[in-house]
Chains A and B, each alone.
Chain A
Amino acid sequence: MRRGLKKKIRIIFLNSAFFRNPVPVAALSIYPVIAAGYSLQNAVELSLLFLFLSVPVGFLFCLIGEMIPLWVRPAAVLAASAVFYLPAARLLESMIPGAVAALGMFGPLMICNSLILSRANVYAPSHIGWAVAADTLGCAVGFALVICLTGAVRGLWLSGSVRAAEGGVSLPFFGLIFVGFLAAFLQWVNRRRTLRTGKRGGRP
């Protein structure tokens, strides 16, 4: 059972981090990526904040998720996310001083990040600890990948102009189009993988 579990966890992690990355494939937590991800600095801060916030919430609801009745669970998840935001912000502040202030509105709005909320509401209560851990880390890595890529591209594009965060490519429209092309690339990769596994007798 040990080897089977390790392989299953690797698959869950890879799916959440790359092949079925929730941000481009399911459009969860699109707002931070397209609105806040206009510089690499922002991107790194937000991915760290996402990590520090999603891990505790994921574990909490992996343990007690079952006990809370279904209709009140969303409220509990948001409350937990709000409570865990404070230590997460403090941790981020200690790692990168001045980060929370620099994030402005984007930081607090990570509390109601649709990716964290939906994972905690649906995925965490019904899966075992290992799977939840792999999935949460996978989502954190996947989110970091997407937002850092977007931030890097926009930072590069805007490196010339003086009012970097003002207009032009830092606006959400470029984020949406960029994530759209990213989603198309992922869909192309997944299509090629299913074709290849289809041809090779279905072994992944």
Chain B
Amino acid sequence: MNLTEMKPPFIRGETSVASMMRDMLFALTLLLALPVVRYGPRPAVAAALTVLVCVLCELLFTLMQTKTTGLSDGSAAVTGMVVALLLPVNAPLWLPCAAGAFAIAAAKAPFGSTGRNPFNPAAAGLAFAAVCWPQLVFSYAATGSGPLPLFGDCAVQTAPSPAAVLKQGLPPNILPFEMLWGNFAGPAGATAVLVVAACGLYLFCKRVAQWEITACFLLVVIVIAALFPRAVFDPLSSVKYELLSGSVLFCSVFMVTDPVTSPHTTAARCVYGLLSGALVMAFRWFGAYEQGAVFAVLLSNAAAPVLDDLVFRFRGWGGELADA
């Protein structure tokens, strides 16, 4: 009986980073179902390609890293899925791949993968795509355009999304109730509002995401939408339109709650949720693009370490900074 030497503890809790990423991937693939039903297998192909490119980029960088933390934590796949779901269905296939490559190669790998990236890679990739190819990222296929060609470019009649209409200050011509079912022009995964809400609940129950960030985030978005409606209608419908249009709900469930790039203490998380909610509305009011959520996520990620240190200094635990 040869016995091995081992350090305690000898049993572990059942959630590991890999299981958290598997839950995220499960929730994201659920979101793919609706666009595949409505537009044919093209979104699934785009998502698969993006995940492949992200994984390849991550592999490329693990060769350069000395301590290879390995690929098995699946966070590259999650980034690829999020990028593919926030781009329009009729986008050319190279667009999500370019955004995914930027997300991994510029926003994640140089800082040390998974636990060390200061920014949410998917948000950085989407912001890069939005700034470089705005006309491609914000042209959404009209709802009734049926199955799209699998690989080639799809010349499809595009319709302005409710977020674009709201940006010009006009009330969108679709009732909020119909928007619930998600058949309006918008990003691939972010229009299915009910499915996003269901995935959110699933992630909160499995403790993969922290609910307090999403709660504060949506609270601020609702308050600002009610106080400052962007088009001439009553506060209630303004709140409904702001929440249902664009990718606010999707971001509040998948991007803002990323544990790596959000603060680590509960108090700082609430402030972080409030800050990112306010920034989303600021980008919607003053921003140049109709989708402000990804930029708001990036800005609040930059503020996350500061919030953590403030909480520690406030609790008298030595949050001061030593000279570098």
Q: Contact between B131 and A184 (Cβ–Cβ < 8 Å)?
A: no
Closest chain-A Cβ to B111's Cβ sits at a distance in Å of: 11
Stretch among A128-136, A167-175, A192-200 lining the B interface: A167-175
| B106 at interface by CB-CB < 8 Å | yes
Q: Are B131 and A171 in contact (CB under 8 A)?
A: yes
Decide: B106 and A168 in contact? CB cutoff 8 A.
no
> Quick check: is B110 within 8 A (CB to CB) of the other chain?
yes
| Complex interface: chain B residues within 8 A of A171 (CB) | 131
Chain B residues within an 8 Å CB radius of A177: 106
Q: Is the CB of B110 within 8 A of A184?
A: yes
Would you call B134 an interface residue if the criterion is a C-beta within 8 Å of the partner chain's C-beta atoms? yes
Write out the residue numbers on chain A whose beta carbons fall within 8 Å of the beta carbon of B11.
Answer: none
Per-residue contact bits, chain B 129-143, to A (CB 8 Å; 1 contact, 0 not): 001111000000000
CA of A167 to CA of B133, assembled, Å: 9
State in angstroms the CA–CA spacing of A181 and B197 once bound together.
Answer: 39
With both chains docked as a complex, state the minimum distance between the C-beta of B238 and any C-beta of chain A, in angstroms: 30
The answer to whether A168 and B110 touch across the interface, beta carbons within 8 angstroms, is: no
A180 touches B110 (CB 8 A): yes
| Contact between chains at A173 and B131 (CB < 8 Å) | yes
In the bound assembly, the distance between CA atoms of A177 and B132 in angstroms comes to: 14
Question: Is A169 a contact partner of B132 (Cβ separation < 8 A)?
Answer: yes
With CB as the reference atom, state the residue of chain A lying closest to B288.
Answer: A167
Q: Say how far B221's CB is from chain A's closest CB, in angstroms.
A: 26
Q: Which of A46-76 contact B (CB under 8 A)?
A: none
Chain A stretch 132-164: residues in CB contact (< 8 A) with chain B: none
Chain B residue numbers with a CB within 8 Å of A168 are 131-133
Shortest B93–chain A CB gap in Å is 18
A180 to B110, CA, bound (A): 10
Interface string of B151-180 (1 = CB under 8 A from A): 000000000000000000000000000000
> Size class of B's contact patch?
under 10
Query: Closest residue to A157 on the B side, CB-wise?
Result: B132
For A, the interface residue count at a CB cutoff of 8 angstroms equals 9
In the complex, what's the smallest C-beta–C-beta distance from B123 to chain A, in angstroms? Answer: 14
List the A side residues contacting B133 at CB < 8 Å: 168
Q: Which residues of A contact B106 (CB under 8 A)?
A: 177
Distance of A174 Cα from B86 Cα, bound (Å) = 22
C-alpha spacing A167/B135, complex, angstroms: 12
Q: Are A167 and B110 in contact (CB under 8 A)?
A: no
Q: Which of the residues A167, A169, A173 comes within 8 Å of B134, measured between beta carbons? A: A167
Bound together, the chains give a CA A184 to CA B131 distance in angstroms of 25
Chain A positions within 8 Å of B132 at CB level: 167-169
Q: How far is the CB of B287 from chain A (nearest CB, A)?
A: 13
Q: CA of A173 to CA of B106 in the docked complex: distance in angstroms?
A: 12
Using CB atoms, name the residue of chain B closest to A180.
B110
Contacts of B110 in A (CB 8 A): 180-181, 184
A156 to B297, CA, bound (A): 31
> How far does the alpha carbon of A5 sit from the alpha carbon of B1 in the complex, in Å?
72
Q: Annotate B103-145 by CB proximity to A: 1 below 8 A, 0 otherwise.
A: 0001000100000000000000000000111100000000000
Q: Distance (Å) between the CB of A1 and the closest chain B CB?
A: 41
When distances are taken between beta carbons in the complex, the residues of chain A under 8 Å from B134 are 167
Measured CB to CB, the nearest residue on chain B to A168 is B132
Contact residues in B for A184 (Cβ distance below 8 Å): 110
The distance in angstroms between the C-alpha atoms of A45 and B134, with both chains bound, is: 30
A185 to chain B, nearest CB (A): 11
Q: How distant is the Cα of A180 from the Cα of B106 in the complex, in angstroms?
A: 10
Bound-state CA distance A173–B133 (Å) is 15
Alpha-carbon distance between A91 and B106 when the two chains are bound, in angstroms: 40
Distance of A169 Cα from B106 Cα, bound (Å): 14
Chain B: minimal CB distance from A171 (Å): 7
Task: Look across to chain B and name the residue whose beta carbon is closest to the beta carbon of A173.
Answer: B131
Distance in angstroms between the alpha carbons of A171 and B134 in the assembled complex? 14
> Which B residue's beta carbon lies closest to that of A188?
B64
Collect the chain B residues with CB atoms within 8 Å of residue A167's CB: 131-132, 134
CB distance from A34 to the nearest CB of B (A): 14
Q: B6-29 CB contact bits vs A (8 Å, 1 = yes)? A: 000000000000000000000000
Q: B residues within 8 A CB of A181? A: 110
Question: Across the two chains, which residue of chain A brings its CB closest to B107?
Answer: A177
CB pairs A–B below 8 angstroms (9 shown): A167-B131, A168-B132, A168-B133, A169-B132, A171-B131, A173-B131, A177-B106, A181-B110, A184-B110
Task: Across the A-B interface, give the 8 residue pairs with the lowest CB-CB distance, nearest first.
Answer: A168-B132, A177-B106, A169-B132, A168-B131, A167-B131, A171-B131, A184-B110, A167-B134
- The residues of A with any CB-CB pair to B shorter than 8 Å are 167-169, 171, 173, 177, 180-181, 184
Given contacts A177-B106, A180-B110, 6 further A-B contacts (CB under 8 A): A167-B134, A168-B133, A169-B132, A171-B131, A173-B131, A184-B110
